[in-house]
Every structure is written in structure tokens, then in C-alpha cells.
A and B are shown apart, each in its own frame.
Chain A
């Protein structure tokens, strides 16, 4: 009996320690939709989620999404209701109308780097969340830079801009982003 048990014991001791082989960390990204506007769905989800997981100093029921400049994707943006009765309302207007008191979120469309920087300069250290459509390297100073890649949609977060802003983004969302230096 003892010998048999000892055998089991040795067998068990000889096992490889179950090393916690970390699951592969893949690039974060949303898969695209099929059809003529593959980025519409993922973009809507991304904007909704970012709005959902961000906190403004003063809570408003309507979050105004100001579109700055022409956009390849945001025109077909479909509004989805947010939690706790809040909602996202896209607001179209001239770039000159962009001001902190009129927008909670500013979506920078197909603008040049200089134009983007100009707008962002006016929003620095205010309670406005800035999202850039056309800045994959995230050099404009926007807080969130969307990446429309061939097979997926992702975003980068400019932590410097986020830390200066009065808008607080859930750290779990920050984690999800691709940092400019690569993950």
C-alpha cells in the first residue's frame, strides 16, 4: 500500500509546474462590419463606449458631439442611447463654432495637422474630450486618435493630453488603447 502511494506521490512531484503561460496579448481592435460602410458600426461602438466610460466634471444628460471638419466616417454615425438616461447628440457646425462651453466631445474630421492643433489648442485643459479621425500617429494633441486599419478599427490614447484634460477616462479604457510607442 505504501509503495503504491509513494509511486503516486513521485508521479505527482515529477509533474511540470503549471507555469502560468500568459495568454497571447493581441493588438486591441474591433473587427469591421461587412457591407459598404465597414467602419460605421465599430466607430459608433467606439464613440459610445468612450462616452460611456468617460466622466465630465459636471454631468449632463446630453453629451454634445461636435463634428469639426468633414469626416469620412462620422457622417453615418448612428446615435445609441447611453446608460442612466444620457444620450449622445452629434452637432454639426463650422470649425469656428467649436468652444468648450458648446461641446462635451469634439470629433476632429479630415483636417490638417495644423488645423487640428489649432482647434485643440483652444480646448486645452477644458472639460472637452477630443477625438481625432485623421491622426494615426497621434501628434495633434487630441486625447484619442482613431485608427481605421484595413482589417479592424482601433484607437490610441495620448496620455499626456488625457492627463491635462478635465475629462476623466476610465483607466480600463486607457489600458485598451495602443500607446504611440507600440504595446
Chain B
């Protein structure tokens, strides 16, 4: 079978396969989106912070210039603090022209974790600097050290939100997979059901209905046309089988049952007669001098004689009794009866009368054909089939001999 065989287990878990596929796809997409967004955001924040630091050092440089000129360290500190409320720097230093540290401003001192510290060293290895230009000379330098804490917090939130999205999407995936399962698997199950009906119950007349899914419908068309072919083959085969069965049990010349049919019917009739409280008469016939007819008048005439003999025999029995051609010019009759002697004499008389009129040959000549008949009656004359036949044959030969001597 193209899909799966109906006797085996159903392929388990199309829904699971779909869900797994979705799950992987969605996980990949969400992780990709979250990662790229977080990374892009962190990089943008780094750029913004860089700008912020540049602006911070310029502002601080401007603000501390007079205080530097006065040489007022306290005022320098105060000035940094007053203009640095919005800075992203973790540390701002003011250094005079001789390189001495004049003031340090550190908003979140001590709040930095080891991880942040390590990241700061990597992401902001060197400070952003701006000179302090006094009225007549450069008074010193402002240095600002960047901080990752904002970008770090952003990344952490991005990660957490990404995880949350992932969880939501996984739930949504389950729902979608279930829906997809219903849409896709229902037609597949219909196909399976039809295939099973065809393979188990030989319902070749069944056809798949249209599902609305292009791929499945293409398959449906092919499957239906295949079913059509199968149905045609099946019918041809049935006819041929019937013909073969007919040939196997019938004599092609006379249309009577052949020896094989006789053997079968004989045993069946013997088996059926007892329980039905019936007697079974086995009549064996042999045409007299048929060999001479064949030799002298030809096989065509012989065949015509056989056909006519068969017709007359058939006419002298009623269904379900049957006549058989055992081979050559040898015939047999099986007749169920209620009479203890199987009505043997009456039947023989009927057959003799049937053979009395001369047979008209195809060329218009007439020929008289007679038959030797032997009969044995079951169960009174023989209790089993073999001895019944032997007895019937014996009586038929006796009859033939008697008739020859009478000639």
C-alpha cells in the first residue's frame, strides 16, 4: 500500500511531528530575533553611550574651566556633579596640566558587580577624553569611563523577554499544530480508511473525496484513478476466474460437468445423502459401439453424437440431479431419491426411452445410438463411495456384455 498497511499500527504522532517541527522552527526564529534585537540594541546603546560620554566630557570640560583656572578643587568636583546628572559614565576624572588628579566623580561607586567590572574592562578599555581649554592655555583633561550596566541590563531584559516570548510561542505552536493536524490529518485518515476498505474488504468501488489541500488532492486523483484501474482489473479477473472455474469443471464439448466436477459432486452428494435421509443413485453410462462411429464416420460425427447424448441425458434429469461426462463416451448421473432402490429401474427406463429416437447427424443421416447403463444405490447396495462406483461400473459392463451377446 502506498501509505501504510491497514493491519499494522497507525504511524504514531503526526501531530507530534508537526509540533516538533513547529517548535524547532519557532524556537529558532524567536532566539534569532531576540538575539539579534538584543545584540543590535546593545551595540546601539554602546554607540549612544559613546556619544553620551563625548558630550559629557565636553560639558564637564566647559563647566570646570573657571574652577580649574582658579585652582579650586572643591569647585571642580561640584561643577562635575552639577552637569553630570544624565551621564552614562561610571567615572569622570579631571586632571590638571601637570597630570595631577584634581577631582573624581563616581556616581554608582561600589554598585558594580564583578561581571560588570569585567565587561567594562572589555567594552570600555580606554576612557573618552576632552581637554580643558582655559583662556590662555590648556588647563587639563577630562576623562570619562564608560559603563556597560545599562547595556547589560538591557541585554538581560532582552533575554528575559525573549524567553517569555519563546514560552508564549511554544504554547501557540501547540495550538497551531493541533489545528494543522486536524486540517492535514483528517484527509490522510480518510485516505487510510478508503485504502483499508479497498485492501481488506475489496471495496474497489470506493473513491477518495476532495480534501481542499492541493498536494493531497493530486494524490487523491492518482489514487482514485489507480482505484479505477484496480476495479477494472478486479472485474476482468473475476470474469476470467469464473470462466476458468467453469472450464475446470465442465466439459467444453457437451457443457456437462467433467470428471473433476463429478468427483467433487459425488463425494458431496454421498456426504449429504445420509443426513438428509435420502438415497443416492449412481448411474454410469457408456455409449454402445461409439468407437465404431468415431472410426467410420469421423470425429465430427462422434462429437455430434456425444453432444446429442449429453443433451438427452440432461433432459432426463431434473435439478439438483446432474449429468457428467467422465471422458470419452462415458457419462454419469447422480440422482437423489427417497426411494430405497433409488428408483433405478424407472430412471433406466427413462434413459432408454430418451435414447430410442435415432440421432439426426449434421449431414442429415440418421443413426441409432444406445447406451449401456449400470446403477448402484447408496447406502443400501454399498456403504461407501468407492465400492458404490465399483458396483455401478460392474453392472454397466455386465449390461454391455449382455447387450453384445443379444446382438
The residues of A with any CB-CB pair to B shorter than 8 Å are 2, 5-6, 8-9, 11-13, 15-30, 45-46, 49, 52-53, 81-84, 170, 172-173, 175-176
Residues in chain A near residue B135, CB distance under 8 A: 52-53, 82-84
A181 vs B136: C-alpha distance when bound (angstroms): 34
Neighbouring A residues of B153 by C-beta, 8 Å? 12-13, 15
Q: Does B115 contact A (CB under 8 A)?
A: yes
Q: Which residues of B contact A (CB under 8 A)?
A: 62-63, 65-67, 69-72, 74-75, 77-82, 84-85, 90, 105-109, 111-113, 115, 134-136, 147, 149, 152-153, 156-157, 159-160, 163
Instruction: Determine if A20 and B108 form an interchain contact, defined as CB atoms under 8 angstroms apart.
Output: yes
User: Which residues of the other chain, B, contact A20 by a CB distance below 8 angstroms?
Assistant: 84-85, 107-108
Give the dominant DSSP class at B's interface: helix
Residue of B nearest to A12 (CB): B156
Inter-chain contact A26/B77, CB cutoff 8 Å: yes
3 closest A-B pairs by beta carbon, nearest first, are A18-B108, A83-B136, A83-B135
Tell me how far the C-beta of A124 lies from the nearest C-beta in chain B, rounded to whole angstroms. Answer: 26
Q: Which residues from B are CB-within-8-Å of A29?
A: 72, 74
- Tell whether, in the assembled complex, residue B111 and residue A23 are in contact, meaning their CB atoms are under 8 Å apart: no
Q: Which of B62, B78, B159, B163 contacts A28 (CB 8 A)?
A: B78
How far is it, in angstroms, between the C-alpha of A10 and the C-alpha of B157 when the chains are bound?
10
Minimum C-beta distance from B62 to chain A (A): 8
Q: How far is the CA of A45 from the CA of B69 in the complex (A)?
A: 8
A101 to chain B, nearest CB (A): 26
Q: Would B107 and A21 count as touching, CB distance under 8 A?
A: yes
Chain B residue with Cβ nearest A26? B74
User: Chain B contacts of A17 at CB under 8 A?
Assistant: 111
Cβ B112 vs Cβ A18 within 8 A? yes
User: Contact check: which of A2, A5, A12, A30 meets B72 at CB < 8 Å?
Assistant: A30
Cβ-defined contact, B113 with A23, below 8 A: no
11 A-B residue pairings within 8 Å (CB atoms)? A8-B115, A13-B157, A15-B149, A21-B109, A23-B80, A25-B77, A28-B75, A29-B72, A30-B71, A49-B66, A84-B135
**In contact, A18 and B111 (Cβ under 8 angstroms):** yes
Distance in angstroms between the alpha carbons of A46 and B66 in the assembled complex? 10
A27 touches B156 (CB 8 A): no
What CA separation (Å) do A89 and B25 show in the bound complex?
83
A15 to chain B, nearest CB (A): 6
Structural contact, A12 and B105, CB atoms closer than 8 A: no
Question: Given the known A-B contacts A29-B72, A52-B69, A176-B72, are A19 and B108 also in contact in the complex, defined by CB atoms under 8 Å?
Answer: yes
Cβ of A69 to closest chain B Cβ, rounded Å: 25
CA distance A9 to B107 in the complex (A): 23
**A175 in contact with B79 (CB, 8 Å):** yes
Contact indicator B107/A176 (Cβ below 8 Å) = no
A30 to B69, CA, bound (A): 11
- Is B159 touching A5 in the complex (CB atoms < 8 A)? yes
| Residue on B nearest A183 in the bound complex, by CB | B78
Q: Are B149's CB and A18's CB within 8 A?
A: yes
- Complex contact B78–A25 (CB within 8 A): yes
Residue of B nearest to A23 (CB): B81
A84 to B136, CA, bound (A): 7
12 A-B pairs besides A28-B67, A83-B134 with CB distance below 8 A are A2-B163, A9-B159, A11-B115, A18-B111, A20-B108, A21-B107, A25-B82, A28-B72, A46-B70, A53-B66, A172-B79, A176-B75
- B70 / chain A contacts, CB cutoff of 8 Å: 30, 45-46, 49, 176
CB-defined contacts of A2 to chain B, threshold 8 Å: 163
Chain A proximity of B83: nearest CB distance (Å): 10
- Judging by beta carbons under 8 Å apart, are B81 and A15 in contact? no
Report A-chain residues with C-beta under 8 Å of the C-beta of B71: 30, 45
A19 to chain B, nearest CB (A): 7
Query: For residue B159, which residues in chain A have a CB less than 8 angstroms away from its CB?
Result: 5, 9
Q: Point out the residues of chain B lying under 8 angstroms from A83, CB to CB.
A: 134-136
- Complex alpha-carbon distance, A21 and B149, angstroms: 16
Complex alpha-carbon distance, A19 and B241, angstroms: 97
Contact A28 B74 (CB under 8 A): yes
In whole angstroms, how far apart are the Cα atoms of A11 and B113 in the complex?
A: 10
Q: Given A5-B159, A28-B72, verify A12-B79 contact (CB < 8 Å).
A: no
CB distance from B139 to the nearest CB of A (A): 11
State the CA gap A44–B85 with chains docked (Å).
33
Nearest chain A CB to B31's CB is how many angstroms away? 10
Residue of A6, A21, A24 with most partner-chain B CB within 10 A = A21
Q: Please judge, given known A-B contacts A5-B159, A28-B72, A172-B63, whether A18 and B107 are in contact too, CB under 8 Å.
A: yes
> How distant is B278 from chain A, measured CB to nearest CB, in Å?
88
Write the nearest CB–CB distance from B88 to chain A, whole angstroms.
Answer: 10
Which residues of A sit under 8 angstroms from B78, Cβ to Cβ? 23, 25-26, 28
Least CB distance from A54 to B in Å reads 11
Identify which of B78, B107, B113, B153 gathers the most chain A CB atoms within 10 Å of its CB: B78
Contacts of A28 in B (CB 8 A): 67, 72, 74-75, 78
